[in-house]
Structure 1
Amino acid sequence: MVAAVPERNRKRSVADILPVLLGAAFAAVATACPVHAAPQEAQNVPSVTVGVWGAAPAFPTGPAVVASTIRQTVRLSLGGEGVSMRLSNEMGQAPLVIEAAHVALPGAQKGSIDPASDHALTFGGRKGIVIPAGGVAISDVAPVTTSAGQDVVISFYVPRSTGPVATHPLGLATTYVSRGPDASTASTLPNATTTQARLFLSGVSVVRHGGQAVVALGDSITDGLRSPVDANQRWPDDLSQRLIRAGMAVSVVNAGISGNRVQHDLPLAESGPSAMSRFDRDVLSVPGVRTVIIMESINDIGHPGAQGLAEQAVSTEDLIAGLQQLVLRAHQHGLRVIGATLTPFAGTIFPGYYSPAGEAKRQAVNQWIRTGRAFDGVVDMDAALRDPAHPDHMLPAYDSGDHLHPNAEGYRHMADAVPLSLLQAP
């Protein structure tokens, strides 16, 4: 095994929010879809690496995984001629040992693989790696041909205790975990338990001829809260489908974290580090990123009242200053920045989250996003979802029922509000 280079040494002690599964195992994803060959690319277009899927890590949220095979299915927003994965131990508190890793195409049954399609994922030519606390590991490229919109299944074996697990809690996909010997090449994992969290897997990239990535940075609305499990119906998923239908070589990487804020970490494990503190990790590090869509600040407005965090109350000027910092950092790295307005939240069921003062801040921030010229483009998500008769409320047809998060139709309507011209290659 080889050792990965640490990237981050941030550690956080947090409450355990995921169930203990058989004393230490979590479960893993695997909803499979049939695969299609990638289209032939023009040979004069250079080969590039492009991020095509992501799940931003939050703080440690549960007990250790011990001697387990973890299997997760991801839907690629762009295809290519090779696949690599990014494993994250950035929020971990102990070294993460990976003994074996594989990528395959889905099998006929949920959570299964087609063994004939299996390829080993290596690290510098070796089958395993030790990822220190605070570190990441990127696999070598496996020669797997993929197409936009297809699923691949990633399995890896963790031979010993990981320490408290840092996950992406709102995975909205079934992750499978099988306790016991390495089963990463098995068609179906034996005695697997399941969770909807993403475990350690934080990114997938493809090698292809041409293409670029768009990163969607946001909170639970970007993370897809209240959209169906195993359905890939978050608004970034729906945007990806629009790009695929339009024949554009543009991927969409979801960097939403439920509960996330721009300026403050939330003292809940699942909400993760603030957008300002994770921007380099979740946006700038994505291979091939050319554009970022920023849709954050509603939790900066609502959480101080809802979570008893009066000392973290922010003014309109604070909110704008935080967003300006994100724009500046993106521009310094040559990225195009699209601002998305904040959606209505009057009447939300979460006590203390909404207030007239908070609504005034939302309106002021939205006015700045629309007219302040800080962004290279604007997507008016507020206009897409609001009730014309009651503009501070979400239109009932798009409301999940909590008056804060959209339903699947609302997420689709948000994706439809994004002008694809904003995402054309610069």
Structure 2
Amino acid sequence: MHAHARKNAKPFESQLLPEDAEPLPKPWLEVPDPRVRTSWWITVFLALVGVGLSALLVFNGIRTLPRIGNVCLVLDEEFDGPSLDTSIWTREVNMDGFGNGEFEMTTDSDTNSFVKDGKLFIVPTLTSDVIGRPAILDGYTYNITSCTAANTKHNVTSCSAVSNSTAGAVINPVMSARLHTRNSKSIRYGRVEVKAKLPQGDWMWPAIWMLPVDETYGPWPSSGEIDIMESRGNDPNYRGRGRNYAQATLNWGPTPDLNLAWKTNGFWYERRTSFADAFHVYTLEWDEDFIWMYIDTRLHKMLDRRIKKSFWDTGHFPTQVFNGSSVTLLENPWQSGAKSAPFDQPFYLILNVAVGGTNGWFPDTFGNKPWENRATTAMRDFAIAQDTWAATWPAPEERAMQVEYVKMYQKC
């Protein structure tokens, strides 16, 4: 039995590796091809050149960035007192729309501007909460006894209003606040920093901006306007750019019709949040050679204006303009100023929250806007739609523009 098993067993297979038909390569013993070495060194050389050129470009970019130089502190306001410091801030009291057809009146009431927990609050409120909804639309006369515009040529509409349903006239349906430093603090070249959280609610128009202390070169916009930040309280889905957008603008021109703000504006936006969700620092840097405006960091730049030639030469304005039925020569209003004119004079700071308006900041074609900018009854149409837009306004402090600090520096 065992012999039979051995006779039929499978033959033993060798586990030896087969011999290679060719000898194993030994590259360390071979003489290298000079062309391979040359190509290697060329690759290394080109890589080093690329790194060097990149470094040079970065260096030149940093070297050519504008620098504001030495600055001296003019205002350091942290709102840490029990109330608004009226030695610094003046509340404007007015109801004429400020040239933009705005729908709010601005007040000196602590309801619309106040200090709390180390912050300034600017809060839009409903006029109907004070005088009732029917009075907004008809049969009521509203007078501002503390009107700060009482001595201006616009005092009839600046300080009083009469509602009349037949004429389509209404009392301003919103109360808000507008604060400025014209009587206390201003700078000519320097830096401004405002740390703020923007308001939330349809048709709100928050702004941090500057106007000249004196109209050195004539009425607006000849003497300039610096808008450090403007935004809208509308939802981020609003096609006209809602509260996730912030814009910076320079207004300048020899006449209102020739305001070339469209040449000098820009914006920054948040992709996943909005400027009403957190505090951000809105900054202006400004001297005779450049004007920069940005949010939090220079990398988040809204506007970068290098002043290489005068604004008159930049504007390419016509030589003649129509004035009614006549034609007049257009003169350069800045010929006596510096290259940076009209931005070569002291400017003061303004903080405000407007609501609505007819100047085009809210375009007619977006967001189911309840008024048309050209309509003579725009404010009435807005007031009638109060139930719709007021429903988007959260509690007073949440819909406020909150300001944590304001710093102004003068170039030394």
Task: Say yes or no: TM over 0.5.
Answer: no
TM-score in terms of structure 1 length: 0.22
The structure whose residues are more often helix, as a share, is: 1
